[in-house]
Amino acid sequence: MQQDRADEGEATVEPERFNQARAAQSMAVLEDYVEMIGDLISEFGEARITDIAQRMGVTHPTATKAVSRLKREGLAVSRPYRGVFLTEAGAELAERVRMRHRTLVDFLVAVGVPAETAELDAEGMEHHVSDATLRAFETYLERARASDGPDFQD
């Protein structure tokens, strides 16, 4: 054999964190679309491809393709030339994603990130925040609110 270099240190388990990040990334688009579709349904009663595309900042064929994937994964339903709707699973995911997004933004602001920046960064970060980390953020927020006490605006 040639070189070895393999079993040097903890290099054996290391790759796992990249796999985790890749897995999270593969969910990111689904999560963003499902949340957005939920928003549109709340506002207008349905989510049209055009509106989805506009809000996501993509062209309509791109939005169509994403919706196809959502349907394939059982998160959305739609019929030709009609609006897009969420399945129960889709609605649940949307709700979880929305809460996580909100918690993350609140948390970032609480630790001193400018609101504008927090919103921008959160859009990408959120998809990599695990449940354990989210709980830590929530705990932090509760404590901060408790100690900042009186002068806290809902």
Partner DNA sequence: CCGCAAATGAAGCCTTGGCAACATTTCTGT
Partner DNA sequence: ACAGAAATGTTGCCAAGGCTTCATTTGCGG
User: Which residues in this chain contact DNA in the complex, by CB under 7 A?
Assistant: 1-5, 22, 26, 28-30, 48-51, 56-62, 64-66, 69, 78, 80-83
Per CB under 5 A, the segment of 5-13, 30-38, 75-83, 110-118 that binds Mn ion is 30-38
Rounded to whole angstroms, how far apart are CA atoms 48 and 81? 9
- Closest approach, Cβ 73 to DNA, in A, equals 8
Q: Is 153 in the site for a second copy (CB under 8 A)?
A: no
Rounded-to-integer distance, Cα 9 and Cα 118, Å: 37
Count of C-beta atoms within a 10 Å radius of residue 99: 12
| Nearest residue (beta carbon) to Mn ion | 101
Contact 91, 83 (CB under 8 A): no
Site for a second copy in 115-144 (CB under 8 A): 117-121, 123-125, 127-130, 132-133, 136-137, 139-140
Residue whose C-alpha is closest to residue 130's, from 24, 16, 6, 5:
24
Minimal distance in Å, beta carbon 128 to DNA?
14
Residue 76: phi and psi, rounded to 5, are -145, 165
Question: Binds 114, which of DNA, a second copy, Mn ion, none (CB < 5 to 8 A, cut-off by type)?
Answer: a second copy
Closest by CA position to 93, among listed 70, 112, 116, 109: 70
- Cα-Cα-Cα-Cα dihedral of 118, 121, 124, 126, to 10°? -30
Nearest distance from residue 11's CB to a second copy, in Å? 6
Q: Which positions lie near a second copy, rule CB under 8 A?
A: 3, 5-6, 8, 11, 14-21, 24-25, 28, 32, 43-44, 48, 51, 54-57, 108, 111-114, 117-121, 123-125, 127-130, 132-133, 136-137, 139-140
